[in-house]
Structures are given as C-alpha cells and as structure tokens.
Amino acid sequence: MIEVDSLRKEYSGFVAVEDSSFSVEAGEVFGIVGPNGAGKTTTLKMLAGLIEPTSGDATVAGVRAGETEMRQNLGWVPEESPLYEDMTAHSYLRFFADLYDVPRDLADERITEALDRLDLEHRERAIGDMSKGMKRKVAIARALVNDPDVLIFDEPASGLDPLTTNYIIEFVRELSEEGRTVVFSAHNLFHVESLCDRLVVMNRGEIIARGSLDEIRERHGTTEYRVYTDVEVAGSVQENGRYRRVVESMDAVERTRESAQAKDGAVVDIQTHEPSLEEIFLEIAGESPQEAEA
C-alpha cells in the first residue's frame, strides 16, 4: 500500500532524514519510533505529500505522495492541529468535507458517526473552548471526513491524559480492524508495543532497526533467565532467602542447575525476562546505524 524508497530530506545542509526505505502492507498498523529530532515527523510529512523530499520517492497505492488522487485517499493527523477556534466541531468538519466534495448528507452522517465513536462531549462548543483531548478528537474526525483508506498520525497520543490516550489508541486499532492502513509515529514506546504490527526505529535521521516487535526483539534483545537456587552458586546473589543468578542462555541455566546439584542444592525457580522495546531501543540507539541494522 505504501512504498518509501530512499527518502532524504535536507534543510539548508542539515540532513533530517537519510536514505529511508520501507513498505507498509494494506491494513497494517505501522509505527515509526524514535527520540525527539529522529526525523519521524519529516518522514510522515513526506509520506503525506506535505513536504517535498530532497530525493527519493514515496507512493501510496501506486500514486506519488502529494498528488491529488493520493490526498483524496489519505487522512492526516498532525501532532499539533491548528483548528478554527471560533467554529463548532460540526461546522468545522463540514467545512473540510466540502473541501473534499463530500455530499452534505453523507458528510453529516460521517461526522456524526466519527464524533459518536470518538465520544466527543460538548460538541456544540466552539473549538477554542475545548480541552486538548477534545481538540485531538476533532482533528481525528477531520481526517475521516473523506473516508480514506490510509491514515497517518503524528504522535496521536502526545500530551493527552492516560484515559484519553487509551481511548485514542483503541480507536486507532479499530480503524485498522476496519481494513484501513495506519502509519503513526511515537516516542512513547508503550503505545507502539500495544498497537503496531511492524515498525522502523529511527535515530538521527536514519532507520536503525525494522521488523515486527518479535523480529526486533530476536535480533537486538536478549532474553534473560533468572535462575533461583537454594544454595549459593558462582555469580549468584542472595535474594529473600534464596540465590538468584541471571544468565542469557538455556545452556547457562543447565550449568547453574549442575553447580547447585554439586552442592546438594537445586534450582527452585526460573523466570524469563523479555526485554521491552524501550530497553532494546536504548541499547541500539547507542550503536551506529550500520551496526544496528546488521
């Protein structure tokens, strides 16, 4: 559905995005993850056709980013949406539906459905008097007035309270379950773990890891085994009346068992610790892009 080929963006000599390539399948939720300044927004804006790449290509359903046909099929939710503060949500959304030539009856139907699903309260208020979470919901409803197949969200949950965040994350999941393709950026990795099928990790303009969460874990994360014994073995520390040794392979678990048995002891518990995306990210962010992608 989306093909990104060697995208690069330079601002007066500063390279914000370098040689970025990835593809997103139809119906997939795809995450772009990385710290502040990694190049996530720049990438999404090039995908949405809002800024021109310095070089490289992005296509959505075979149409080059930025072309009218592609915009008709795209919903874009920026991190900070400048909304018309004096309008009510309904009149604002109707205004956007008109821009997309959506017939009035259909527009009203879509707007009411989107605002109902997003559970927007006080929708008769002027947008300027709404809370940040309510404004974000209006911005999301705006991205849906043209009933697009592809939705791009820049930091959909940034700056929102946990309840509204959960609501919006669940809503994004529903949009994908309806068959829409969703690309979103995040620096809060918790949302990524719970939401996306595949992702790229960016740092300083470059992609440093890619794949499903499991693939990234397998490639970059190390499963830890916490082996508890009732006697002290080499490398163990005492913890609540027993001994804990942390190892990284089943062979080492076996060796710990043998060491315990040699002292007439036994393994009393084994716990597995899978690294979180956050832990993996911190590890690979310290490597060079070539090392991390290898």
Distance CA 52, CA 7 (A): 10
Indicate which single residue of 18, 20, 31, 39 sits in contact with ligand ATP (rule: CB under 6 A): 39
Segment near ligand ATP (CB under 6 A); pick from 31-39, 127-135, 144-152, 206-214: 31-39
Q: Which residues pair with 198 in a beta bridge?
A: 30, 212
CA distances from 93 to 105, 109, 127, 191 (A): 13, 11, 11, 27
Phi, psi of 54 (to 5 degrees): -70, -40
Residue among 46 and 168 whose Cβ is closer to ligand ATP: 46
Burial of 202 (0-12, 13-18, 19+ CB in 10 A): buried
**Contact track, ligand ATP, 147-186, x by CB under 6 A:** ----------------------------------------
Using the rule CB under 6 A, is 78 a contact of ligand ATP? no
Indicate which single residue of 42, 88, 146, 259 sits in contact with ligand ATP (rule: CB under 6 A): 42
CB of 159 to ligand ATP, least distance (A): 12
The alpha carbon torsion through 175, 181, 187, 193 (nearest 10 deg) reads 70
Indicate which single residue of 34, 53, 133, 148 sits in contact with ligand ATP (rule: CB under 6 A): 34
Handedness of CA 232, 235, 238, 243 (dihedral sign): negative
Q: 199, 223, 212: which is closest to 274 by C-alpha?
A: 223
CB of 116 to ligand ATP, least distance (A): 31
Segment near ligand ATP (CB under 6 A); pick from 29-37, 69-77, 135-143, 216-224: 29-37
Binding site for ligand ATP (CB under 6 A): 11, 14, 16, 34, 36-42, 187
